[in-house]
Structure 1
Amino acid sequence: MILTNPISASEVGTLWLTYEEKTLIMRMLEYFIEKSDDQQAKNLLGGLWQELNFYVLQMEQIFKDQGMVKPIGYSSEDVNLEAPKLFDNGFDVMFLRILKEVSMGMYTINMNMAYNDKVMQIYEGLTTVTQKIYKLSTLYLLERGILTLPPKVTMPKTTEFIENKSYMKGFKIVGDKRALNDIELGLLHHGIETNNIGMQLITGFAQCAKHKEVKEYFVKGKKLAKKQIKTMEEILLDSDVQFSATSGSTVTTSTIAPFSDKLMMHCVYLLNGFGLVASSFGSFFCLRNDISMKLTLLAKDVYFYGQEGVKIKIKNGWFEEPPQMEDRANIIKNN
């Protein structure tokens, strides 16, 4: 059969990644829906599951039409709905909000690599869903006092321009560093917020991981999240900015795994990628060189931590190989 509208290599790759991510999120949503005792949260989680299921089916149809095997992704084997609550007090919606932050960035990149109308429609639709859920999640958490707002500042009354190169200097032997600008403050607040949720997530994962190597990896990730939070809080305190980290959600004492080690490792893999991009973005747009340097060093730590996780996934046969181009050199050699 000759395809009238074949998809490109870049679209195969992005659809493959999206399918993996969506099937993982759906399994986690199923557990959170099962354990939620708040009807509004259940509606939010359930509504997203329905939306994602629609687009997962659309992707499967594209795979079928293109004669492409669909990724294995994550199935009912990767979630235990009978496991007790591992997280409580709004963590499900807090984590959902973080996932939607990750998704928004991914859809932008994926749309930029799409040329097929059906593929573009998928990313356009998923973007709309993600923005809606992100807004509803934020409002839900604010209403319950679980989410901490960034610090308030005095509104600017005049327009100013940077007149001196010393504006960028944070490494000063004599004199005080300049105050944080609002862009830097916002980036640091966001970094603390996301790392705090990541620390709670990975603490829960460490409690219930079955493989010793995986458990140790999650404990290491917890320490890394603490290091990042401490670094960013110190920068804020040096500028007399007090930050109250999100404290509403909690990890229970359960040690029964709601998810497979394979799923938990891939979840952390996705969040590592998000953290690496966020740190790189922050280091570029912070105009004080001491902050840029610290965020760059944190990004380095996340990168090496992520690489360690990839090796564990490969070692245990948990890393499904992405589609790839034909190895022409090997074909010619073996002919």
Structure 2
Amino acid sequence: MENMKHETEHSIRLTSPEMASLWTSYQSDTMAICVLKYMLEEVEDSQIKTVFEYALELANTHIQTITGIFKEENFPIPAGFTDEDVDLTAPRLFSDTYWLKYLHVMTIHGLTGYAVALTTATRSDIRDYYTECNRSSTELYNKTIEALLSKGIFQRPPYISTPDKVEFVKKQSFLNGWFGDRRPLNSVEISNIFFNLNKDTVNRALQIGFSQVAKSNEIRDFMLRGADITFKHIEVFSSILHENDLPSALRLESEITNCIVPPFSDKLMMYHTQILVAAAIAFFGAGMAACMRRDLAVQYQRIITETQLYAEDGVNILIKNGWMEQVPQADDRKALAYI
């Protein structure tokens, strides 16, 4: 009976969300393998290296599992990224400190993606796979934060006083932002602002580093433009925190070396930038939805619009260079009717 049930479940086709999750995971994990291999060639700290080795082991396991599912489904294996997209002999581009903070942020992105993948999957084997991805990525997240704490380089979010009692909002002025007295930030707003600010510091350093090593002038200009945009976002978020006498995130530009030899292909660097930009838009949106001051919502909206325009230009560069693999899409019934 168990074998029959297993065979029946595996004869069910992949749904579009399952297909999307597996395809996206394949792209991200093949990219991660390239980046992690390079990291392991450059990292000197033994504790940090152990964390990266675990991350690489996970990424390789993911690719093996997804490839097996694709073969069972007669699904074409995506091109993704290969050893041609990384130069393991390239000099160090970032310090150990930066790479550890980078991996910490990327693990947060992975956990977010795996949660969505699990909750949109139906087939038991796909749910089992993403359940394991969530478990192992949580372990990786804990390893990164423990390493950051032990090295004394993890910046805790701002502290605020513990409330004395339960209170309820009594005035509409609670929503004020532009006019009248502005109330202090609440803990939810602080959490989202600091979270997005912290990720922006990692993203900006990556964009500057990529600008130093990009082969194409077009890619170099795109990275520098992104660094300028991210700088403005850092200034906005930092000023909001400072207005409330709260600390902002530490900057990471000093963790970039003077390397000008590209460790990664322009294709990989463009794709990497695009997935970080897409994630940023999603997290900015979450921050806007959770804020309760009108001025904060307007700031988020402006930042999202600016980031979306930048992302669109990035997509155009990928398409122009033939680097944008097409996501599986629905059949065009009208086009099929006229074949």
TM-score higher than 0.5: yes
Q: Distance in 1 between matches of 2:304 and 2:246?
A: 23
Task: Kindly report structure 1 stretches of 4+ aligned residues shifted beyond 6 Å.
Answer: none
SS in 1 for 2:234: helix
Aligned partner of 2:5 in structure 1 is none
Aligned partner of 1:252 in structure 2 is 257
Q: Distance in 1 between matches of 2:333 and 2:61?
A: 37
Instruction: Return the offset for 1:214.
Output: 0.5
- Alignment partner of 1:333 is 2:338: yes
Instruction: Return the offset for 1:240.
Output: 2.1
Instruction: Return the offset for 1:325.
Output: 2.4
Instruction: Return the offset for 1:57.
Output: 0.5
Aligned partner of 1:110 in structure 2 is 117
Contact 2:205 2:253 in 1 (8 A): no
Q: Distance in 1 between matches of 2:289 and 2:210?
A: 32
Q: How does 1:1-335 map to 2 (within 5 A)?
A: 4-172=11-179, 174=180, 176-247=181-252, 250-334=255-339
Contact 2:98 2:252 in 1 (8 A): no
Q: Distance in 2 between matches of 1:248 and 1:137?
A: 20
TM-score scaled to structure 1, two decimals?
Answer: 0.95
Contact 2:200 2:234 in 1 (8 A): yes
- The worse-fitting range, judged by mean Cα deviation, of 186-195 and 247-256 is 247-256
RMSD of aligned Cα (Å): 1.5
Contact 1:146 1:248 in 2 (8 A): no
Q: Distance in 2 between matches of 1:272 and 1:85?
A: 24
Q: Distance in 2 between matches of 1:10 and 1:324?
A: 11
Any idea what the Cα deviations from partners look like across 1:135-175, whole Å, max 9, x if unmatched? Answer: 11112112222221112211112011111111011111x4x
SS in 2 for 1:74: coil
Q: Distance in 1 between matches of 2:243 and 2:23?
A: 45
Q: Distance in 2 between matches of 1:138 and 1:181?
A: 25
Give the residue type in structure 1 aligned to 2:280: G
Instruction: Return the offset for 1:105.
Output: 1.3
Instruction: Return the offset for 1:256.
Output: 0.4
Instruction: Return the offset for 1:4.
Output: 2.0
Give the residue type in structure 2 aligned to 1:119: I
Q: Distance in 2 between matches of 1:61 and 1:273?
A: 28
Structure 2 gaps of 5+ residues are: 1-7
Q: Distance in 2 between matches of 1:152 and 1:89?
A: 27
SS in 2 for 1:87: coil
SS in 1 for 2:44: coil
* Aligned sequence identity (%): 27
SS in 1 for 2:323: coil
Instruction: Return the offset for 1:192.
Output: 1.4
Give the residue type in structure 1 aligned to 2:308: Y
Give the residue type in structure 2 aligned to 1:132: E
Q: Distance in 1 between matches of 2:107 and 2:185?
A: 28
Give the residue type in structure 2 aligned to 1:48: A
Q: Distance in 1 between matches of 2:108 and 2:173?
A: 34
Count residues with an aligned counterpart: 331
Q: Distance in 2 between matches of 1:137 and 1:246?
A: 19
Q: Distance in 2 between matches of 1:151 and 1:325?
A: 46
Give the residue type in structure 2 aligned to 1:282: G
- The worse-fitting range, judged by mean Cα deviation, of 58-67 and 46-55 is 46-55
TM-score scaled to structure 2, two decimals?
Answer: 0.94
